[in-house]
Structures are given as structure tokens and as C-alpha cells.
Structure 1
Amino acid sequence: MANFNTLVVQPLLGARDSLQAVDWQRIKERFAAYAAWLQSQPDPTAVHEAVRNLEQLARYVRDLMLLANNFVAFRDFYDRSKSATFQVGTLYLDTRSCDLCVAVNDAAKHTALASLARICLVYVDCTRGADKMSVAAAMTAGDSDQLMVGRNGVFYDRKGLDWNATITKIVDHPISLRQAFWSPYKRLARLVSEQLQKMAASKAKASEERMGSLATNVVGKAAVPAAAPQPKPAAMPAPFDVARFAGIFAAIGLAVGALGTALASVLGGLFALKWWQMPIALLGLLLLVSGPAVVMAWFKLRSRNLGPILDANGWAINARARINIPFGTSLTKLAVLPAHAQRSLTDPYAEKSNHGLLLVALLLLAAALAAWKWGWLAF
């Protein structure tokens, strides 16, 4: 009541000790206009709802086209001057930069569906201080010879911040036609190298076992006391089996002869051609070896699809966002020398070359070919 007297009665009626009915009526008349104004105001709840609707409309006007270009038409993705909203940055790894990088929460779960995209994916764990995240990067150019779990790279996010990246998983798919062309020869070279390494390892192990056995026998003989009983006489070695070794040498001779005959027949057929037919024959041999791998890779590269990668992240993609060979190549940039830069090919620690021996071998081969061509030598 004291506040009512101070704030209302005294300003309107002056100081007084009591309030009569006539005075109360005068106060009500003075506040009638304010009461009418309050009653004319809309419902606050409705006002707040209208403000929220207006905000949503403003956001739709601003972002609806951006949403359609990234979730429906993928215009920003196919426009190489822009980056789609799902592209979280660029991964620099193995002398290349990968622009198609998406964030993933669970690499194992993501792989189950993303592998259907037929894109070579490299999953990396990125760390920056205490912050961590996982990224799946698409490799669409180059080869996968040096891609392996544990290799490190650098990831730059959309804000330009750099992260330490480490490969944790690789989904292997064809990357390029060049890789498919050389893949049969690389597999053959790898197989030969592995077999030679296994053979060398087995020979080294057998040699070590023989040396260890010899050392054990020598030490054992030196440690035998004078009163020790005489050892049993060693068993007589088996007699030399001439027929057995003759069979082995005959088998080796047959194998070498078969290889020589096959090589001679191939060279004879090749040299029987005219000079302009030889490159065509070599090209046909290359196509025979590499052709199937290239054809299979071509079909797989043409069927690459972005949809499974986004579906694995929880999106609902209806469109088949194809990634053909030229567009896929543009998503991964290979390292090149800067302008006006030159390579230094001088190696102070280079091994001695065998160019002289190679030249002699080429001269002998040319002489043999000339002798065969002129009828002096017959295969």
C-alpha cells in the first residue's frame, strides 16, 4: 500500500491519509486508456510463434537453394570451383591431395556400406591436440603401391586448420587405368621376389643349421673325458646312387631344354615377322597380358557411385551420383614440380653402372640375330 500511495495516489490526487470512492473512480478513469491499450495487444504466445515462423521462412529463403544443391542436385559437388557441404577438407598423403573427404563416426560400420561405391577409400584418424576425428578419403588418381596402414599424412579442414592423419583402414578398389595396366607385371615381379626371398631364406637357414650342428659336434668331442666310453661307430654312408642322380640331371636338362625351345620358338616367330610387324606383335602381347585387367578396371571405374558413401553416414540419397573417370581424376591431384623447377639427377652415392656389359650383350644379341637372318645360324 505504501508503494501504491507513493507511485499512484500522490502523483494523481496529492498527499492524503484516506482514499474515498470518488478518488478511486478518478484513478480508474486516468488508467482507462492504458487498460484499453493492454487489451488491444495480441497474445504473447501467438507473437512468439509468429516470430519463429518468420525466422524459419527467412532461413528457407536463404538456405533452401544451398540445401538443394548439396542434397538433391549435387551441383556444388560437381562444380570443381566449390566444395559440397559433406566435403570436410583435403587430405595430403603419398604425393597426392584428396578433395573428396567425408567425416565418419565408426569406420567399421561405414565400410560395410561404403565399399559398394567401388571407390578406393582410405580411412584416417586425425588428431589436433586433444581433438580427434575420423575421415574417409577417396583415392581416385595414382596407384596404391605405397598405401598401407600406419602411413602418416596431413589433413586440412575447411577452416584451414592442419591435423595429423594416420591410415587405419583401406578399402581396395581400382584407382586408375594406368594402375590396372601395370598391375599384372607388378604382381609377377612381387611373386618372383617373394619366391627368391623364400628360397634364399631356406638356404640360409639350412646353412646355419649345418654350421650349428658342426659346432656342436666339435664342442662335444672336445668335452669328452679320457675315461668316457668309446662312441658307437658311425653308420656307413649310403652308397652313391648313380641312377638317381642321373635321373635328376636328366630332369634338369629336360626343363632347361624345354625353356630354351620355347624361347627359341618365340624369338623365331618374332624374327620371322617383317620389321614393321614386330612393334605390332609386342603391342599385341602387352594387350594380351594387360588387356583383361584394364577392361575390368574400366567397368569398375565407370560404375563408381557417391551414394553409398553418404548413405553410410546416415544420409538418404536417391540419386545415383556417378563419378566417371575424368571427374574422378580431378578429385585427386598428383604432386608436380613447381614452375621453373629442375630435378638434380646427380647422385654422389650412385652405384657403378654396368653400361659396358649391357652394350656388349646387345652387340652379341645383334650379331646372333644377323647371323640367323643371313642363314649362318639356325635355331
Structure 2
Amino acid sequence: MATIQSQHKWRFFRSGGFDQVALDSAADLQHLSELDPKLWTVLNCPTTGLEFDCRTLALLDLDGDGQIRVPEILAAVRWSCERVLDAEIMFKAPGLPLSAIDDQDAEGANLKAAALRVLEITGKTEADPLQVTDLADMTLLFSPHHFNGDGVVMAELTSDTELAQLITEIIQTQGGQLDRSGGLGIHGDSLNAFYQQAAAVVDWHAAADPADPLFCPLGDKTVEAVAAFEAVKAKVDDFFVRCQLAAFDNRAAEALNPAVAVYDVLSNKAISSSDKDVAALPLAAIAAGQSLPLGEGINPAWASAMSQFKLLVVDPLVGSKSKSKAGHLTADQWQQICDQLEPWRSWQAAKPDTTLHQLELERLQAIVAGDGKERLEALIAQDLAASTFADNVDAVERLVRYQRDLVTLLRNFVSLSDFYQRKHKAIFQIGTLYLDQRSCELVLKVSDMARHATMAPFSGCYLVYCTCERQGETPLQIVAALTAGDVDELMVPGRNGVFYDSQGRDWRAMVTKVVAQPVSIGQAFWSPYKRVAAFIETQLQKFAASRDKDIEAKTTTGVTAAATPASTPAATAAVAGFDIAKFAGIFAALGLAVGAIGTALAAMIAGLFSLVWWQIPLVMAAVLLLISGPSMLMAFLTLRRRNLGPLLDANGWAVNTRAKINVPFGAALTGLARLPAGAKRSVADPFAEKKRPWGSLLILLLVAVAAAVFWWFKLN
């Protein structure tokens, strides 16, 4: 993007460690395209995970890629400024007066006329401003009795009862399309599909001739006969093919009949004529040239179906044949039956697959022969031609939403003034997390946990990831930045808190992950001592646990030894013996250690008291600085680079600067528990631990020892 030299006098403010442009006037909007993109805070942001109207974001996202980019922002600003008389209206309270719309050109005139129509429909006057809520339900703005430009025609749109009935029948068989008025209608595609299917059904019926004996060999009984034929066809075909194989090779007959083992299986259970194993057997015994018995000798599972087949098909078609009278059907007779029923069966196979069969044939014939299709096409064309009002209503909605939301977006995109000036929450701040007597305001939604966990640590912030749950809602993943207070041993995964979203709804929040970072230099000062204390505590616990385990083991061994009779006096002496040399060695080693420590302490104290009195505090401060200095330096460097950018980048933003979160600003983002002003506080705790003098006595003893040592060194 080429940089344009702007003649507009911009105003910038310093916050977050960088210069941000102030957008406060109509001139700022009109010249926004001249602002160097390098001075924009953000270059693109996602359309999801934001506390911002999703419909407005959809209108801004011209290419539908899920990202709001600089050209789309500029296009929205430019169009808004062109459609209003004074762009200062963009900075006013939500609500677009009719008088603010510029109607000097055709587009503006149509837009203003549509806006006036919306006011009339919603029961407002010309003096009332248009609000987003007036356009929230578009179905209220469009009547089913009027054309609305969407190409969908409802039955209510015509006074012709025949056309209305036809529209209803199309909806019943093809499904309805949603009209802008909220009802169901038809459009060109469903109309064409209906008439194509209707013509196919009419042609299919025309192909049938019930009076033709070749087409309906059994007259009005053909349908029933074909059903009985279809029920046994596969099984009869199987029988005759097996018999033909037996005739082809007489060795095949035995294999084509069921094996004896099959009957062994059946013999071990109660069987019936409906048993699947029985039905799977051949229709009758297989032999070369065998005809199919129609009575005795038939598989009992097929007896009923074959009886119907004989009654409805065989007797009427080949009943005069001797074999059929004898209760058998030959292969030639079976082929004759197949040939006679084939025309009807082929016609049935060609039956169109459509729901239009639910309509009477006479009605379909009348529809195909009538001019309903042409008349409905004319209605649809009229509706499409009336798209001006609908299109202008869309433009009215866009302008009203931009007047309410666009400046807010600019103050979270071109600059981050909403975030740093704290008059309003930024659009990426989705709520407040309450956890361990603190409130965290910098809370972002996490859509991709893996990506966020990779990028977010570079922010230098102490991060707490939580899973939030609320009955009836989809679980929500969030990340909160803790920028003030003490966090030592605080955010252990599994801790619970409460998250309040922007609507004030409370969610149960459970900590799932922590990214530890320094929170303040004061915390860093004490961290070495806390780590040492934690280490000593851990070692003491390990030592106590080890001693307890040893005592338990020795006690168990002693009890076992006492319960077991000693085999010899020597063995008893070995168990109960005491190694005086080992005991003396331990005491000698302890004595040497205590002596060495005492000597070192004495040397340190001697060196300390050899200094002038005012040098002693300096030495002690130097020691503290030596211990805490590295931690404080690391904390200082981390806090100095703490910034918002990686947190937003992890959510799909393209942040164009280092948006710092310094210590004072961080303290404002995390609230700590404090008593209200003027509150009375009682310090009396009935369950407080009783005060004992041992601590004071120990301090006095140490002071006395120090004084004695100082006096001894002075004398020597």
C-alpha cells in the first residue's frame, strides 16, 4: 500500500509505549485513508471471539474470509461518510436520524426512502432516529402480500385461487423456500422441478394400457399377481438353475442339495416354518430335469408364498397345462410366466421417483396442460424486479449499524484507545475472572489452545488458562493475565474461580494451565528467600518422613526379634549389641561441623563489628541485594517487555506494534481485595494462636550473645 502524504492535522496520544492516533472528529474519519498504515495499531482481526456485534462484523467482512482487514475498514468508513450529511453523527449516541442521510444522489434518495418506510412500518415518525433494533427482525419489514425482491413467491401474493393452490401443491411436494416475510414459498428452481416431475409422471401413466392383454395379462388382477410373483421369483429361479446344473453334471446334484449336517443343526433346536435356516434351504429337492412341486415337497418356509403364487399366477396363466394340474411347474412354464408379466414389471420399474404420485393423475394432467407455469414465472419475475426496496433496506441496516459500531471498532483497530484509556472495555476483553481475592480484567477467549499456548508466553505476562462451564452453554476456554498481587503457589491447576462474561452471567472457571512469569519487582525481591524457605521445608519434611520410616522399620524388626526365640546367646548379643566406636565417631563429626560453623560465624561477626556503625546497614543491604539482585533484574527485564501483542496474535490478530503493559497499567488491570473506605475492622480473633514468650526470649538471647561477642573482640 502506497503511503499518501496527508494534509490533515492528526492528533496522537502516548500510551502503551507507542504513539496512537486519536479519532475524535469527522475530519479524522474522512482522512483515515491518508493515515500511514505503519501507524495503525492493528492490520487485521478475526470476526470471532470478540465482544462485538457479529452481524456488524459480517457486514464489514466483504470477502467472507473471517478476517477484518484494513481495506475493508477503509471501505466502510468511506461509504459511511458518503451516505451522511455530517460524519460527526458517527460519534454521537446510537441512533440515525432521517435528516442525517444524504439524499443528493439517487443512491442516497433510495436509501432515505427505504429508511422512511422502515420508520412507518415500525410505528415511528420522521423525527425518531433509526435504531439497530428496528432492523433486527427483517420479516417484520416485508409483507407476504407484497413483492420483496427475493424471488420467492408465497400463496398470499396472488388472489387467484388456482395459482394459490398450485403454489401450495409445489411446496407440499418440493419443499418450501423461506421468504423475507418469514413464510414459505416457491422460486424458479422448485417451479421447474415440479413441472418436470409432473410431466414425467403423466408420460409414465400414458405408457400403460390396462386394456391390452399383453400389458395386463390378468386384467385388474395383474397388480396382485405381480406382487405374488415378485415374492417367490428369486427362489424359483434358484431352484431351476440348480436343476439345470444337476442336468449338466449328475455329480452336482448331491452337492446342490442340503448336506445332512445342515439337518443335524436343525435337529438340536425347535424349528418353525419361519425359521431363517429353513428358509435358506432350496425350494424343493434338486434333481436333473425336476419340475417344481407346488404342493407337497415344497420347502415349508415357502409354502404360504408358493400357495399364493399358484393361486394368483400359475392357475390363471398356465392352469390348463397337465403338469400344473398335477401340482408341478416346469421350467418352460416358469419362463412363460416371466415373459407374460415382464411388460408390466418393466413399466413399474420405470416409475418416476417423485412425491408427485400423491396427487391425482387427473390433477397432474390438468397442471401439465394448463398455463400455471407461465403465470407463476411472471409472478417470480415481478418479485425479482421489486428488489430496490429490499436492497435499500439492507443499506439502511448497514448504515445504522456502522453509526453505532464503526467508531468503536476503529478505537480497537486503528488505535487501542478503548484498552489503554479504560473508558470502555476493549472488544477482545470478554469478561472478568475472579480468583483468590482478585479480579482479572484482561481476559481473552481462546479458540485454538495449541496455537495460543505457543504464542502467548512471549507476552511476558503471568497467564492462567481456564475452562469455563455453565449449565446449558458450550464450555468456554479463556486465558487471563495476572498483572498485580502475589502469585506464589496460587495458580495450581485444578483451582476454581468464577468468570463473569460481558452479559453478567457467571461461569464456573477451573484452572487448567499456568504460564508463570514475574508479576512485580517486589515479588522478585522476596522470591529467593521464599525458594530457600520452601527448599528447607521440603528437606525437613523428607528428613522427618525418612526418620519416621526408619523408626517404624526398627520397631517392626525389634518386635519380630522379640517374638522369635534366639537360637544362641551369641545371636542375641549380636542383635542387642551397641557399637560404641561408631557412636563416638558420629559425635566427633558433629563436633567438627559445629566448630566449623561457629568459627565461620565468629569470623563474620568479627568482621561486621569491626566496621563503623553506619557501615553495618550498608553491608547488610549489599548482602540482600546480592541475594535478590538477580531475581529483581530478571523481573525488571521481563516486566519491561510485557506486552499485549502476542496475546492477540495468538487469537489471529495482526498487531502492528509493541503494546506494552507496564507496572502501573498492569496494576489497573488486576484488582486486589481491599476493605471499603470507612469500613470498621475488628482485629480481635477468638481463634488466634496464643502468644508465647519464646520468640522474644530467643531474640534477647541472640542480642546478648552478639553483645558478648562484640565485647570480647573489643578486649582482644
TM interval, shorter chain, is 0.7 to 0.9
Residue of structure 1 aligned with 2:626, choices 288, 294, 298 = 288
| d(CA) in 2 for partners of 1:201, 1:347 | 34
- Verify: 1:348 aligned to 2:701, yes or no: no
Residue of structure 2 aligned with 1:279, choices 617, 622, 630 = 617
- Verify: 1:234 aligned to 2:571, yes or no: yes
Gaps (5+ residues) in structure 1?
4-37, 225-229
Q: Does the Cα contact within 8 Å between 2:493 and 2:513 map onto a contact in 1?
A: yes
> In the alignment, what sits opposite 1:80?
422
Alpha-carbon distance change, 314 to 289 in structure 1, aligned in 2, over 3 angstroms: same
| Structure showing greater Rg | 2
| d(CA) in 2 for partners of 1:295, 1:157 | 37
Residue of structure 2 aligned with 1:138, choices 458, 475, 481 = 481
> In the alignment, what sits opposite 1:324?
662
> In the alignment, what sits opposite 2:504?
160
Q: Which one-letter code corresponds to 2:469 in the other structure?
A: T
SS in 2 for 1:344: coil
Q: Does the Cα contact within 8 Å between 1:91 and 1:155 map onto a contact in 2?
A: yes
Q: Which moved more, 1:208-217 or 1:92-101?
A: 208-217
> In the alignment, what sits opposite 1:100?
442
| d(CA) in 1 for partners of 2:384, 2:536 | 87
Kindly state the Cα deviation for residue 99 of structure 1 after the two structures are TM-superposed. 0.3
Kindly state the Cα deviation for residue 354 of structure 1 after the two structures are TM-superposed. 2.7
Kindly state the Cα deviation for residue 350 of structure 1 after the two structures are TM-superposed. 3.3
Kindly state the Cα deviation for residue 344 of structure 1 after the two structures are TM-superposed. 3.0
Alpha-carbon distance change, 334 to 43 in structure 1, aligned in 2, over 3 angstroms: same
Kindly state the Cα deviation for residue 88 of structure 1 after the two structures are TM-superposed. 0.5
Cα deviation code 1:143-179 (max 9, x no counterpart) = 2222211111111111111111111111111111121
Q: Which one-letter code corresponds to 2:528 in the other structure?
A: P
| d(CA) in 1 for partners of 2:384, 2:597 | 100
| d(CA) in 1 for partners of 2:516, 2:545 | 30
Residue of structure 1 aligned with 2:516, choices 172, 178, 181 = 172
SS in 2 for 1:166: strand
Q: Does the Cα contact within 8 Å between 1:126 and 1:155 map onto a contact in 2?
A: yes
Q: Does the Cα contact within 8 Å between 1:72 and 1:319 map onto a contact in 2?
A: no
Kindly state the Cα deviation for residue 81 of structure 1 after the two structures are TM-superposed. 2.3
| d(CA) in 2 for partners of 1:186, 1:179 | 10
- Verify: 1:198 aligned to 2:558, yes or no: no
Q: Which has the higher contact order (CA 8 A, sep 6+)?
A: 1
For 1:1-379, list aligned pairs within 5 A. Answer: 44=386, 52=394, 55-131=397-473, 132-145=475-488, 146-221=490-565, 234=571, 237=574, 240=579, 242=581, 247-355=585-693, 357-375=694-712
Q: Does the Cα contact within 8 Å between 2:448 and 2:651 map onto a contact in 1?
A: no
Alpha-carbon distance change, 161 to 45 in structure 1, aligned in 2, over 3 angstroms: same
Q: Which one-letter code corresponds to 1:275 in the other structure?
A: W
Cα deviation code 1:157-213 (max 9, x no counterpart) = 111111111111111111111211110000000000000000000000011111122
Kindly state the Cα deviation for residue 306 of structure 1 after the two structures are TM-superposed. 0.9
SS in 1 for 2:464: strand
SS in 1 for 2:412: helix
Kindly state the Cα deviation for residue 280 of structure 1 after the two structures are TM-superposed. 2.1
Q: Does the Cα contact within 8 Å between 2:606 and 2:710 map onto a contact in 1?
A: no
Alpha-carbon distance change, 151 to 216 in structure 1, aligned in 2, over 3 angstroms: same
Cα deviation code 1:284-335 (max 9, x no counterpart) = 2211111111111011011012111111112222222111111111110111
Alpha-carbon distance change, 320 to 44 in structure 1, aligned in 2, over 3 angstroms: farther
SS in 1 for 2:665: helix
Q: TM-score, normalised by structure 2?
A: 0.43
Q: Which one-letter code corresponds to 2:479 in the other structure?
A: A
Q: Which one-letter code corresponds to 2:697 in the other structure?
A: V
Q: Which one-letter code corresponds to 1:292 in the other structure?
A: P
Cα deviation code 1:203-248 (max 9, x no counterpart) = 0001111112223334444xx9xxxxx6796286489473x65554
Q: Which moved more, 1:338-347 or 1:364-373?
A: 364-373
SS in 1 for 2:605: helix
SS in 1 for 2:481: strand
Alpha-carbon distance change, 346 to 61 in structure 1, aligned in 2, over 3 angstroms: closer
Kindly state the Cα deviation for residue 252 of structure 1 after the two structures are TM-superposed. 2.3
Alpha-carbon distance change, 354 to 269 in structure 1, aligned in 2, over 3 angstroms: farther
Kindly state the Cα deviation for residue 86 of structure 1 after the two structures are TM-superposed. 0.6
Q: Which one-letter code corresponds to 2:594 in the other structure?
A: V
SS in 1 for 2:629: helix
Gaps (5+ residues) in structure 2?
1-159, 161-380
Alpha-carbon distance change, 231 to 329 in structure 1, aligned in 2, over 3 angstroms: same
Q: Does the Cα contact within 8 Å between 1:122 and 1:139 map onto a contact in 2?
A: yes
Q: Does the Cα contact within 8 Å between 1:368 and 1:377 map onto a contact in 2?
A: no
Kindly state the Cα deviation for residue 369 of structure 1 after the two structures are TM-superposed. 3.9
| d(CA) in 2 for partners of 1:359, 1:173 | 38
SS in 1 for 2:571: coil
Kindly state the Cα deviation for residue 128 of structure 1 after the two structures are TM-superposed. 1.7
Kindly state the Cα deviation for residue 250 of structure 1 after the two structures are TM-superposed. 3.5
Q: TM-score, normalised by structure 1?
A: 0.78
| d(CA) in 1 for partners of 2:714, 2:687 | 44
Alpha-carbon distance change, 235 to 43 in structure 1, aligned in 2, over 3 angstroms: same
| d(CA) in 1 for partners of 2:622, 2:407 | 53
Superposition RMSD in Å: 3.1
